[in-house]
Amino acid sequence: MTPTMSPSQPSRRAPRPMMSRRGVVATLCAMPAFGAISHAQGVWPDRPVRILLGQPAGSGSDPVARGLAPHLAAAFGKPFVVENMPGAGGVVAAAAVAHADDGHTLGLVLGGPTTTAKAMNPNLSYDPATAFRPISLLNRSPFVLTAHAGSFGAGARFADVVDHVRAHPGQLSYASIGTGTVTHLAMEELKAALGLDIVHVPYRGFPQASLDLVAGRCHLMFNVVAAAAEHIAAGTLIGVAQTGAGRTGSLPDIPTLQELQAPGAPFFGWSGMIAPASFPDETARRIAAVVRAAFAADPKARGGLDRTGSEVLGTDPDELRTLQESEARRWNAVIARLGLRISD
């Protein structure tokens, strides 16, 4: 039976436990932490995003990064800031991306730093196979093997260049855009197959390497089509071979290495957008979608790639991952076969 209470009798509630001063302080101190957690779980990004570029200002990738930045800023509501961080064929920038833990650092790199860098340097601070979240394969472009006209003669062809190098062992040099890049590994593969003795001179990017090639301070280089075509037309450089499966439209008179029956399968240069491995896959796919739409709609976003013989892509993350894996298998096998290391 439930007891009744007289109307004149005041009701009694169970007393609330009083919070000690220490408890109040603890609760107040916990509140900012709760806010920080909520903020961390909010919409990305919550601050400016850095895009680290492994090539110097003026390189082929530079206008692409700067062309994409406004589109990414408009889509995500925060600035995307491009920072040139050249060095070691792009490894300096790639390492900075691999070790970034702020959730707001992306990279735009060429192939080597995300495929062959560890094979070239076992002491590398990151593992290309596990350190990155692929975002988008931006472009793919064949190279043209260019020679200094004053060193080989204006009418020299591929066979003439090979004969001249063989006749002058150790006296000529070739440029690359960094040790471990395709421009280095492909020439080392060609050297080994044809028995050539030519000195490797690594540069920080295509602009300076091209200038020195034109000036005759180096003699050969696997160059990007855009940088080479103007000088080939002017007669300061000779184009002796292309590296793609077919001839590019801008250089229709230059044969491919396959046509010349030179060793090695067709190969390309390419660039991709990456993030640290911890970066969310969903966000990577959102970025890739913005890149693809920007390439389709805005010539500035393409950074002139479509005028350089380059195939403009803007793929999803899976396609970039597949290419990275196949490139790593191919070029790491070359590195192992030739015994190459970072000092070569």
Cross-strand bridge partners of residue 222: 145
CATH class name, domain 51-140+268-338: alpha beta
So what's the pLDDT on residue 135? 98
pTM for the model stands at 0.84
- 51-140+268-338 and 142-242 in the same fold: yes
Say yes or no: domain 142-242 is CATH 3.40.50.2300. Answer: no
| Tens-place pLDDT, residues 126-164 | 999 999 999 999 999 999 999 999 999 999 999 999 999
So what's the pLDDT on residue 250? 86
So what's the pLDDT on residue 29? 36
**Residue predicted with more confidence, 303 or 6:** 303
pLDDT over 70 for what percent of the chain? 87
| Tens-place pLDDT, residues 5-36 | 444 444 444 444 444 433 433 333 333 332 23
Which residue in the block uniquely carries the two structure tokens 């803007």?
Answer: 314
So what's the pLDDT on residue 60? 82
Nearby residues of 342 by Cβ (< 8 Å), 6 or more positions away: 120, 121, 179, 180
So what's the pLDDT on residue 89? 87
Query: What is the mean predicted confidence (pLDDT) over 271-277?
Result: 97
| Tens-place pLDDT, residues 166-180 | 999 999 999 999 999
So what's the pLDDT on residue 42? 67
Domain boundaries, the chain: 51-140+268-338, 142-242
